[in-house]
Structure 1
Amino acid sequence: MQNRKKRIAIVVMSDEHSGVAMGSAGHPWIKTPHLDAFSASNTRFTSAYTNSPICIPARASFTTGLYTHATRNWCNGLPYTGRPRGWTHLLRDAGCDVTSIGKLHFRNEVDDTGFTRQLLPMHVVNGVGDLLGAVRDPLPVRHKAKALAEEIGIGESTYTQYDRAIAAESIRWIQDHAEQDNWVLFSSFVAPHFPLIAPEEFAALYRLEDIPLPKLSRAEDRDDHPWINALRDCFRHDSYFDEMLRKRAMLSYAGLCSFMDWHFQQICDAIEAAGLAEEALLIYTADHGDNMGTRALWGKSTLYEESARVPLLVRAPGRNMRQVVATPATLADVAPTLMEWMGLPAPAEWPGRSLLSIGESRDDHQRVAFSEYHAAGAETGAYMVRQGHWKLIYYVGMAPQLFNLAQDPEELHDLAPGGEHATVLKQLTVELRRIVDPEAQDRQAKSDQHVLLEAHGGRDAVVRRGGFGATPAPGVTARFA
């Protein structure tokens, strides 16, 4: 058990930082020295996943401890409003100070989302968000996707400026509250989310000639799944790329990962200087990953490792956690972790489990990690089950995919066709159906999204209005296309 004087927890979240994009996770050239050093002396969960690979659903699961089909925040047009209540409400109502600094991506600052205060918050555009992401039957063409290819380079963006402000405010908060007890700080950054514009000092860590092309970026090298083809036809990012631009994009993404790595170290230094390193629970994670050009896909929205897997690093003073934990975990496990650390019971209906107890136990290869996707570019609902070294991706109305991540960590060989692994496929499908009825929830998601669109003039009106790409930093106006 912990032998500590204070109950303090700090969660640092990045945005779109893939769980494979760290040196400690085995990435061959992306430089994250501070996260790697933290991993080496604390606990790294090697099989950690988002519960939905897009901002609003992922952040709703993180906040409530529930899966997306329970919160019904299906897409970026259905932001979290404070219902269902989450760990933020429970801790605050028990007398804990719960402060957020930075990106939340909820509906607005007015809704009671459980925080004692919100500093420098980013919320969805106009309190509404990305309505175009709710258009799924049929899928639209996202013309704003071209902006990703146009906004690549070296320098400062409104996002990097915002992240610098988040870091400075977080450091001040830690310094000012070092003597206080019973508080949780949620420090939430935007990097390495696009636009792929990296500050010069971090871009300079890389040479363009050393950067390989993303795997399966050439059409002749891949055998695409129909669901992925539909996603790529909706988000035509890659049609604006050539090989050199792909390398430049990856250099910028890597630079932004290093930029985020540097911010994490600043917060670690502030914790150390405040004398809290042996007191405070510290968690680093991301809301979801990024495809990084693999399969000619950019952004998130898939259940492949690059997009669905997230970094998950934990320092829990006084707990006997192992350094490397292979038990599958998800963002929904953070909520019960915070409840346990702060000395309160977690609600029985939460599907997650405290990372503290997971990290102190032997690897559980029977535990299931679950993720789902019902948002922009999803022709039908998509679901992921990870158990042991097996991974199922289940698409409603389409053939599933099956991967053996021990033998094929790059997910190059779909083992579902041919029937050779029918038993495994059946077992994982049973596990999926223990969690959710995929067909029923696909219908529910599309029904909720239809109601949303009708409330805003209908599908055609929303498509005519267009999309705006990424939510702008506070004070910046969204531009639709």
Structure 2
Amino acid sequence: MTAPPNIVVVLSDEHTPAATGCYGHPTVRTPNIDRLAAVGTLYESAYCASPMCVPSRLSLLSGRYVHDIGAWDNGVLPDPSVRSWGDHLRAAGYESVLAGRTHFNGADRLWGFDRRLSDDLEHWVDHSGRPPRRVPEWQRRTNSHVAETGVGEHPNTRHDETVTDLVVDYLTSRAQDGGERPFLLYVGYMQPHFPLVAAPEFAAWYDPSTVVLPPTRGAAPEDQHPVIAQLRRSFRNDEPLTDEQQRVATARYWALVSQLDHHVGRILDVIDESPLRDNTVIVYTSDHGEMLGHHGVWQKQCFYEPAVTVPLLVRTPAQARGAAAPARVAGDVSQVDLLPTLRGLAGLPADASLPGRDLLGATVEPRPVISEYHAQGMLDAGFMLKRGRYKYCAYVGHPPQLFDVVADPEERQDLAGDAAHAQVLAELDAQLRWHLDPDAVDHRAKADQRARAAAVGAQ
């Protein structure tokens, strides 16, 4: 019987796949992520379960949808009854190890894993469960996430360097002693999440004057869907930004992507230059994307492609040895598919309670993917169902949106009111409602957020 492989999962923060060489960007330098893609499997159309950090990560680590586990916002604490990757793979004899940014909250810093090499930066961990204020008047304090950029040192940079050092030490030790148990190692990075402060050596790679800005950046909020207009007001993305500011911010973001890629390279080197290459699966992904000014939006919190798509790369030992061919998968996949894939790698049977499927299984049939958002900037629940070329966005209390992302990749033309697409709209709405009741889920989310606000005395 073949021993199960070691598994290393690298999770960055806020990396839109379009800002990666292997996903086609002509400027952004990601040589190490690209070399992973060159011999592994690249998923061209991968989606997060929520375009927000904590909900996305809790969904990712549990293999279950946000509405299924009550992971509504960045303040929520994990439900201790929900099983994580570590819980699942323990049944196959794995040692499960966390390193760096997990961005889940509360005093339990393991959530089913065996141990940690390092933790989140403390100010990112909420121990109170405080929910966001989902009211029309709420606004982010500033739009510093785009207007304030820089070149130099930052705590995020030091965090990621420390994480890489610890991971390299761990992998080196495992390569030398072998160990009796296979390991699952989760590696969490801060970058390229804002603040957009990049190290000088990487900032020097990108001249802001050469940045090509998205043509939709000048969209006026009053001309946009009311949900997008409210989102922009809430995060102060309706405040005027010059093209120069946006070019500098984009260049700094690209530099942070390249900094991240450097850390990925150090991990690949220690694996590929040791016996680990022949028995270690490597996964690279991110918790969500970054809008970078598309439709006038920075950060995420919406269902446009730059926010809700993620890079997803998997390299098996057979691919590393050249015994299996590299691949590109065009069909839609979800990050809830990662846990069934990890279970398959570990030799565990399929778990019928999980909504995802093993991406490395014999047959991966096309199917819709779902994302959702229940936090600040969106007053009522929002849901996305993506099926092939069509994306359906349903908003409680507001009209839906429908996009053909093949014919209209910039998502400029909302087809929801087009009679020629009425049948598609109805089909996608029915598929979404087969999975969930939007109004009922919205009611649950708000009830939970009200209860948590009362518990901490929040207004």
TM band (smaller chain): over 0.9
Q: 1:35 touches 1:261 (CA, 8 Å); kept in 2?
A: yes
Match of 1:342 in 2: 346
Match of 2:458 in 1: 458
- Which SS does the other structure have where 2:283 is aligned? strand
Identify the match of residue 335 of structure 2 among 326, 331, 335: 331
Q: 1:215 to 1:88 in 2, by over 3 A?
A: farther
2-structure distance, mates of 1:108, 1:55? 15
Residue 222 of structure 1: how far off its partner (Å): 9.1
Match of 2:167 in 1: 170
Q: 1:384 touches 1:394 (CA, 8 Å); kept in 2?
A: yes
2-structure distance, mates of 1:420, 1:375? 33
Identify the match of residue 11 of structure 2 among 13, 25, 50: 13
Match of 2:42 in 1: 44
Residue 389 of structure 1: how far off its partner (Å): 1.3
Q: Does 1:60 align with 2:64?
A: no
2-structure distance, mates of 1:125, 1:90? 24
Moved more, 279-288 or 219-228: 219-228
1-structure distance, mates of 2:237, 2:221? 18
Q: 2:128 touches 2:456 (CA, 8 Å); kept in 1?
A: no
Match of 1:69 in 2: 67
- Which SS does the other structure have where 2:391 is aligned? strand
Residue 219 of structure 1: how far off its partner (Å): 3.1
- Which SS does the other structure have where 1:276 is aligned? helix
Q: 1:279 to 1:195 in 2, by over 3 A?
A: same
1-structure distance, mates of 2:144, 2:376? 16
2-structure distance, mates of 1:350, 1:198? 39
Residue 361 of structure 1: how far off its partner (Å): 3.9
The TM-score normalised by the length of structure 2 is: 0.93
Q: 1:399 to 1:341 in 2, by over 3 A?
A: same
Match of 2:271 in 1: 271
What whole-Å deviation, never above 9, does each CA across 1:157-213 have from its counterpart, x for those lacking one? 100111111111111111111212411000110100000011111111111111022
How many equivalent pairs are there?
Answer: 450
2-structure distance, mates of 1:106, 1:229? 29
Identify the match of residue 159 of structure 1 among 132, 156, 160: 156
Q: 2:222 touches 2:229 (CA, 8 Å); kept in 1?
A: no
Structure 1 segment 396-475 matched on structure 2, within 5 A: 396-459=396-459
What whole-Å deviation, never above 9, does each CA across 1:235-268 have from its counterpart, x for those lacking one? 1045263221111100000101111111111111
- Which SS does the other structure have where 2:419 is aligned? coil
Q: 1:328 to 1:219 in 2, by over 3 A?
A: closer
Amino acid at match of 1:76: N
Q: Does 1:354 align with 2:349?
A: no
Amino acid at match of 2:331: T
Residue 433 of structure 1: how far off its partner (Å): 0.9
Q: What RMSD, in angstroms, separates the aligned Cα atoms of the two structures?
A: 2.0
Q: 1:222 touches 1:295 (CA, 8 Å); kept in 2?
A: no
Q: 1:81 touches 1:106 (CA, 8 Å); kept in 2?
A: no
1-structure distance, mates of 2:289, 2:386? 16
2-structure distance, mates of 1:146, 1:118? 34
- Which SS does the other structure have where 1:46 is aligned? strand
Match of 2:103 in 1: 105
Match of 2:24 in 1: 26
Residue 419 of structure 1: how far off its partner (Å): 1.8
The TM-score normalised by the length of structure 1 is: 0.89
What whole-Å deviation, never above 9, does each CA across 1:254-296 have from its counterpart, x for those lacking one? 1011111111111111111222222111100001111112122
Residue 230 of structure 1: how far off its partner (Å): 0.6
Moved more, 320-329 or 415-424: 320-329
- Which SS does the other structure have where 2:384 is aligned? strand
Residue 458 of structure 1: how far off its partner (Å): 3.4
Q: 1:91 to 1:448 in 2, by over 3 A?
A: same
Q: 2:51 touches 2:373 (CA, 8 Å); kept in 1?
A: yes
Q: 1:149 touches 1:240 (CA, 8 Å); kept in 2?
A: no
Residue 111 of structure 1: how far off its partner (Å): 5.7
Residue 221 of structure 1: how far off its partner (Å): 10
- Which SS does the other structure have where 2:416 is aligned? coil
- Which SS does the other structure have where 1:239 is aligned? coil
Match of 1:377 in 2: 377
Residue 153 of structure 1: how far off its partner (Å): 1.3
Q: 1:57 touches 1:74 (CA, 8 Å); kept in 2?
A: yes
Residue 106 of structure 1: how far off its partner (Å): 1.7
Amino acid at match of 1:46: E
Alignment gaps of 5+ in structure 1: 460-481
What whole-Å deviation, never above 9, does each CA across 1:98-138 have from its counterpart, x for those lacking one? 00000111223536511110121116434136x3x521144
1-structure distance, mates of 2:334, 2:265? 23
Q: 1:385 touches 1:391 (CA, 8 Å); kept in 2?
A: yes
